[in-house]
Amino acid sequence: MAASISPSADLSAALVHALPTAAAWLVILPVAWCLAIGALLVMLRRPIGLHPTITIIGLAGLVLIDGLLLREVAENGPLTMVMGRWLPPFGIAFTADLAGALFAFTAALVALVAGVFSLADVNDSGRRYGFYPLLMLLMAGVSGAFLTGDVFNLYVWFEVLLISSFGLLVLGSEPEQIDGTVKYGFLNLVATTLFLIATGYLYAVLGTLNMADIAKKAEGLRNSAPLVTLAGLFMLAFAMKAAAFPVNFWLPASYHTPRVVVSALFGGLLTKVGVYALVRVMVMLFPVEREELSFVLAVAGALTMIVGVLGALAQTDFRRILGYLIVSGIGSMLAGIAVGGPGGIGGAIFYALHSMLVMTGLYFASGIAMRLGASSSIASLAGLYRRHAGFTALTLMLCFAVSGLPPFSGFWPKVMLVKAALDIGAWWLAAALLLAGFLTTIVTGRLFLLAFWREGTHAAGEAVSLSPATLGPLAVLTGLTLLIGLYPEPLLALIQNAAAGLAEPSAYVNSVFPGGGP
Amino acid sequence: MKSVIFRTVAPVLTSLMVLFSVFVLLRGHNEPGGGFIGGLIAVSALAIYGMAHGVETVRRAIFFHPMAIAGAGLFTATFAGLISIFAGVPFMTGLWIYPAILGVEIPLSTVFLFDAGVYLVVVGAISSIALSLEERGGE
């Protein structure tokens, strides 16, 4: 029976014969782990009280796996596992290099912290509507996007995280949430479709979707294939995902409506997935085309920075301000990608990691402020300083960090980016970076002055205490920001290696094609 | 729907369709078919039953909540991929065993287990949507 159905062709030539090491499983485990925990949570419908515990254990496990992966990759170079044992360009490869592992680890850390914050933020109805399963599936999508080595697979993980994010956005089913979700969903679907079209085009031109294979093949096709068009299409699709000007309008329209912890996760993670994809495609796959497009990218980056921060200056809603600050930060990352070189790419990666921590922290702060002041508008929030001094101090530090002031994590990427821009003579880009930083300081200063320092008009002066589940996540993120700001060398070394690995992907290619490949 | 003919035929039709969906699932390894299309056929069967006898009857008949079925499917599919960890081969490598049951050799594989997971995900997710739409439509 078995013999009659097995094909007569000799399959052994199409299979990978080197068996994977135990370490190689670390590449696939973050995704499989999140999917398994998510599925388990979907099955456990009745004992809803178990959801938070299982999720936090799951996310702690994810941090551990990603941490081990990061250590392995930092010591031994990129790791690859090819699904189903098929040879690389045909089998779908998961490849973790230093950039991917750094992003995945930071994302897992942010998700764990958000999981703890959700204990106080997500009520029973949110649990019943599936907040925790959706959170785990979102993390499966995010981890997959950071670790995959295949362009179409990247598209699939974008879809996974997009679908989970729809679910998270409508949690609560209030009219304004549905309004925000429709805008978010529609514009993201346009971006995803564009990504899919670009992927189809890429396949038609190069005949492969494996990233390592593309990086190799693009070299020989530079003179004949429309690679700049391809790079341009990918750039537009990912810039839309990352909320870059002029396709940034969906973000401020939707990120202030869901639950605070959902805003925090989205603000921290989702746009950075777009930035990561942009870095991966523009820097590793199409470096020459990036040079061609760098002026467009630089102008878009500068405009994103300025438009974002001016938008933030015009808003009064705490979370809308943060939405615009995210957009402004994306501009700095685009500027880094446009400038290129170790300083530019490293600066962009550093800025993205910093932004993950800080924006999540600031969204937590907005949630706590809303709870203390019973309002989300900084016009009516006042006197928060008197209500909880510790909370005020943490928020002030995060405000400094997001403005790029020392000694916090925002300072170093900004220095790297400004220096990289000046090195290639793009003084206007450096000026835009500094101006955006200055305006961000004004935005956060205004925010802090009105919501925290101003004396409350009504008698809301008495101090309150906050539970550890509320204040702890904020304190952890602020602590990390401060730590990175004071002692950036280890992270900086990793980031520089990551940028070098992206610019010169021979280690990445070797990891996918150990024997030199086809 | 109130038609006596439809209400009488529906259970027979439903059981036939569910049976056929399992056939399509099993056939899917080497020929057209598989978990996705099989799952869709099974959902159509449940939807027909729901039209004839009401959504509540269907919910009781499938016993588990549709989303729990989808979760079980996703878990099965992930587990099927992870089995290869014990064989020391990469994620999702197809592994086969041939147990003899009642004197007949039955080929079983992780590929099939994955497909069965897909089947359950489709049955659970789509029937969840179909049943809630039918519930709203009946009001």
Question: A30-55 pLDDT, tens per residue?
Answer: 999 999 999 999 998 888 888 999 99
Q: Could you tell me the pLDDT band of residue A3, with boundaries at 50, 70 and 90?
A: very low
Say what the alpha-carbon torsion angle A465, A470, A472, A474 is, to the nearest 10 degrees. Answer: -110
Q: Find the angle CA(A162)-CA(A168)-CA(A172) to the nearest 5 degrees.
A: 145
* Mean per-residue pLDDT, A14-42: 88
Which is it for the CA torsion A428, A433, A436, A438, positive or negative?
A: negative
B59: left (phi > 0), else alpha (psi -120 to 50), else beta? Answer: alpha
Which residue range forms the structural domain that includes residue B23?
Answer: 4-138
Nearest CB to A28 within list B65, B74, B91: B91
Q: How far apart are CA A98 and CA A210, in angstroms?
A: 18
Smallest CA–CA distance from A39 into chain B, residue? B71
| pLDDT per residue as tens digits for the range A53-89 | 999 999 999 999 999 999 999 999 899 998 888 888 8
Which residues, 6 or more positions from B135, have their beta carbon under 8 angstroms from its beta carbon? B55
Partner B, chain A 68-97, Cβ-Cβ below 8 Å: 81-85, 94
Domain residue spans in chain A? 14-506
Question: Looking at residue A81, what DSSP letter applies?
Answer: E
Nearest CB to B92 within list A5, A40, A83: A83
**Per-residue pLDDT at A172 exceeds 80:** no
Q: CA-based Rg of chain B, rounded to a whole angstrom?
A: 17
- Kindly state whether A5 is in contact with chain B, defined as any CB-CB distance less than 8 angstroms: yes
Q: What is the pLDDT of residue A487?
A: 93
- Kindly state whether A396 is in contact with chain B, defined as any CB-CB distance less than 8 angstroms: no
- Please indicate whether, in this complex, the C-beta atoms of A36 and B94 are within 8 angstroms of each other: no
Higher-scoring residue by pLDDT: B112, B29: B112
**Per-residue pLDDT at A151 exceeds 90:** yes
**Chain B: nearest CA to A30, how far in angstroms?**
12
| pLDDT per residue as tens digits for the range B62-104 | 899 999 999 999 999 999 999 988 888 888 888 888 888 888 8
- Kindly state whether B31 is in contact with chain A, defined as any CB-CB distance less than 8 angstroms: no
Tokens 């490598």 — which residue?
B93
Q: Could you tell me the pLDDT band of residue A2, with boundaries at 50, 70 and 90?
A: very low
- Kindly state whether B83 is in contact with chain A, defined as any CB-CB distance less than 8 angstroms: no
Q: Could you tell me the pLDDT band of residue A500, with boundaries at 50, 70 and 90?
A: very high
Question: Looking at residue A425, what DSSP letter applies?
Answer: T
* Mean per-residue pLDDT, A117-131: 84
DSSP chain B: ---HHHHHHHHHHHHHHHHHHHHHHHHTTTSS--HHHHHHHHHHHHHHHHHHH-HHHHHHHH-S-HHHHHHHHHHHHHHHHHTHHHHTS-TT---EE--EETTEE--EEHHHHHHHHHHHHHHHHHHHHHHHHHHHHH-
Q: What is the pLDDT of residue B47?
A: 93
* Mean per-residue pLDDT, A360-389: 87
Smallest CA–CA distance from B95 into chain A, residue? A84
**Chain B: nearest CA to A70, how far in angstroms?**
20
- Kindly state whether A32 is in contact with chain B, defined as any CB-CB distance less than 8 angstroms: yes
Q: Which of B78, B86, B114, B120 to mutate to test the interface with A (most CBs of A within 10 A)?
A: B78
Q: Find the angle CA(A66)-CA(A67)-CA(A69) to the nearest 5 degrees.
A: 60
Note whether A299 and A331 are within 8 A (CB): no
- Kindly state whether B63 is in contact with chain A, defined as any CB-CB distance less than 8 angstroms: no
**Per-residue pLDDT at A378 exceeds 70:** yes
Kindly give the residue spans of alpha helices, DSSP state H, lying in A122-226.
124-128, 131-147, 151-170, 175-206, 211-221
- Please indicate whether, in this complex, the C-beta atoms of B30 and A84 are within 8 angstroms of each other: no
- Please indicate whether, in this complex, the C-beta atoms of B30 and A5 are within 8 angstroms of each other: yes
What residues in B contact A36, CB-CB < 8 Å? 75, 78-79, 82
Note whether A428 and A358 are within 8 A (CB): no
- Kindly state whether B54 is in contact with chain A, defined as any CB-CB distance less than 8 angstroms: no
Q: How far apart are CA B73 and CA A232, in angstroms?
A: 39
3 state DSSP class of A122:
coil
Which DSSP helix (H) or strand (E) runs through A95? Answer: strand A93-96
- Of A131-145, A179-193, A313-327, A344-358, which range is least confident? A179-193
Q: What is the pLDDT of residue A386?
A: 82
Q: What is the pLDDT of residue A514?
A: 82
Tokens (6 digits) for A447: 């925010």
**Chain A: nearest CA to B12, how far in angstroms?**
30
Smallest CA–CA distance from B71 into chain A, residue? A39
**Per-residue pLDDT at A4 exceeds 50:** no
Total domains in chain B come to 1
* Mean per-residue pLDDT, A274-282: 93
Smallest CA–CA distance from B93 into chain A, residue? A84
- Please indicate whether, in this complex, the C-beta atoms of B90 and A35 are within 8 angstroms of each other: no
Q: How far apart are CA A400 and CA A444, in angstroms?
A: 8
3 state DSSP class of A111:
helix
- Of A27-36, A173-182, A200-209, B20-29, which range is least confident? A173-182
Note whether A194 and A210 are within 8 A (CB): no
Which residues, 6 or more positions from A383, have their beta carbon under 8 angstroms from its beta carbon? A452, A454, A455, A456, A460, A461
| pLDDT per residue as tens digits for the range B41-69 | 999 999 999 989 888 999 999 899 999 99
Smallest CA–CA distance from B82 into chain A, residue? A32
**Per-residue pLDDT at A173 exceeds 90:** no
| pLDDT per residue as tens digits for the range A430-464 | 999 999 999 999 999 999 999 888 887 655 567 77
Q: How far apart are CA A307 and CA A244, in angstroms?
A: 10
**Chain B: nearest CA to A61, how far in angstroms?**
17
Tokens 């090491």 — which residue?
A21
| Complex-level ipTM | 0.90
Type of residue at B6: F
| pLDDT per residue as tens digits for the range B96-123 | 888 888 888 888 889 999 999 999 999 9
Question: Phi and psi of A72, rounded to 5°?
Answer: -60, -45
What residues in B contact A47, CB-CB < 8 Å? none
